[in-house]
């Protein structure tokens, strides 16, 4: 990024976003992936110390955090200052080993979208036992992230039975309830996939990876989300936390 772009991203977007904060109808969502002890990298890996600093900021500044199931409540799902949904994509093992106790000590709720085919199979991912342990703590909510983590934008490329129905059935068998929160892998989505999921699935909330204002379609909510980037400034993190970056998609 050149100096002008950097300035625009770090200062102008947060300012314009702040002035337009009223365009947010639904609760703000931020997301992470893996949390690592070593050097972080972009959206995919966040350094643990940086993550802890961000979470302490959330706790010390009185933000309310919510689990997915709490969004069934009409009041909870509305946009409100200092209210945020913290989410993690994929189901990385570190979402338990590196952060669970810490989040518990701060009383911060969080959520994980599971790539169902990796759970109990891939050693870098969570196991169902750990998922259940987190679920039983009432601190962590869960959603689905397909079975094989494909690009969903082109619906003709994927097997919806496997990616949605089978993934949901396994989730329900292991956790005892239907998943109502779905996140697109790679943020890969299209008008077609939104239409399919808002009419053919049981998901109430569908999450993209676009920094945009969330909206309703066929009675479901399509969420914009703010990826927290390991390499961005603390000011940008705060702006994303407050829903000020949701303006991004309206101006690019
Ligand atoms: Zn993913």
Domain borders along the chain are 3-251
Cα-to-centroid distance, 62 and ligand 1 (Å): 29
Among 26, 14, 40, which residue's Cα sits nearest to residue 85? 26
> Is the pLDDT confidence value at 1 over 80?
no
The two tokens of residue 248 are: 């991004």
What's the whole-number mean pLDDT along residues 152-179?
97
Q: How far is the CA of 183 from the centre of ligand 1 (A)?
A: 8
Question: What is the pLDDT averaged over residues 125-138?
Answer: 98
Average pLDDT value for the chain: 97
Per-residue pLDDT of 208-240, as tens digits, reads 999 999 999 999 999 999 999 999 999 999 999
pLDDT at position 178 over 80: yes
Over residues 113-138, the mean pLDDT reads 98
Cα 41 to ligand 1 centre (Å): 15
Those residues with Cβ within 8 angstroms of residue 105's Cβ, 6 or more apart along the chain or in another chain: none
User: What is the CA(20)–ligand 1 centre distance, in A?
Assistant: 29
**CA 188 – ligand 1 centroid, Å:** 10
Distance 17 CA to ligand 1 centre (A): 26
Q: Give distance in angstroms: CA of 91 to centre of ligand 1.
A: 8
**pTM for the predicted model, two decimal places:** 0.97
Q: 43-66: per-residue pLDDT in tens? A: 999 999 999 999 999 999 999 999
Cα–ligand 1 centroid distance for 4 (angstroms) = 31
pLDDT digits 0-9 by tens, 94-114: 999 999 999 999 999 999 999
Q: What is the DSSP letter of 181?
A: E
Q: Who surrounds ion ligand 1 at CB < 5 A? A: 89-90, 185
Residue 242 Cα to ligand 1 middle (Å): 23
SS3 of residue 84 by DSSP: strand
Distance 169 CA to ligand 1 centre (A): 19
Q: How far does residue 19's CA lie from ligand 1's centre (Å)?
A: 31
Kindly state the DSSP code that residue 229 receives in the 8-state scheme: P
Q: Which of 115-128 are b and which e, b meaning 16 or more Cβ less than 10 Å from the residue's Cβ?
A: bbbbbeeeeebbbb
Q: What is the mean pLDDT of residues 57-83?
A: 98
Interval between CA 145 and ligand 1 midpoint (Å): 7
Which residues does residue 217 pair with via DSSP β-bridges, in sequence order? 220
The mean pLDDT of 28-47, rounded to a whole number, is 97
pLDDT at res. 136: 98
Report the CATH number of the 3-251 domain: 3.20.20.370
Q: How far is the CA of 243 from the centre of ligand 1 (A)?
A: 22
Please give the distance of CA 231 from its chain centroid, rounded to a whole number.
18
* Predicted local confidence at residue 2, as pLDDT: 87
Q: Is the predicted pLDDT of residue 251 greater than 90, yes or no? A: no
User: Quick one: pLDDT at residue 224?
Assistant: 98
What are residue 76's phi and psi, to 5 degrees? -65, -35
Residue range 182-195: mean pLDDT, rounded: 98
């Amino acid at each position: 990024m050149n100096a002008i772009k950097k300035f625009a991203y770090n200062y102008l977007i947060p300012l314009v976003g702040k002035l337009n904060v009223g365009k947010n109808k639904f609760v703000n969502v931020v997301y992470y992936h893996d949390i690592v002890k070593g050097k972080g990298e972009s959206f995919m890996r966040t350094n643990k110390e940086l993550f802890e600093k961000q979470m302490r900021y959330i706790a010390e500044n009185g933000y309310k955090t919510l689990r997915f199931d709490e969004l069934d409540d009409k009041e909870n799902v509305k946009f409100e200052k200092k209210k945020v949904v913290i989410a993690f994509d994929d189901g990385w093992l570190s979402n338990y080993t590196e952060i669970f106790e810490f989040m518990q000590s701060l009383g911060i709720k969080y959520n994980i979208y599971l790539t169902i085919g990796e759970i109990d199979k891939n050693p870098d991912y969570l196991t169902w036992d750990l998922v259940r342990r987190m679920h039983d703590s009432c601190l962590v909510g869960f959603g689905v992230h397909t079975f094989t983590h494909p690009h969903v934008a082109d619906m003709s490329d994927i097997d919806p039975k496997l990616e949605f129905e089978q993934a949901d059935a396994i989730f329900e068998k292991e956790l005892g309830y239907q998943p109502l929160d779905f996140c697109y892998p790679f943020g890969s989505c299209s008008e077609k996939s939104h239409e399919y999921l808002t009419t053919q699935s049981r998901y109430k909330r569908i999450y993209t990876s676009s920094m945009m204002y969330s909206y309703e379609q066929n009675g479901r909510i399509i969420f914009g989300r703010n990826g927290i980037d390991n390499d961005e400034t603390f000011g940008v993190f705060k702006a994303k936390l407050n829903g000020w970056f949701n303006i991004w998609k309206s101006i690019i």
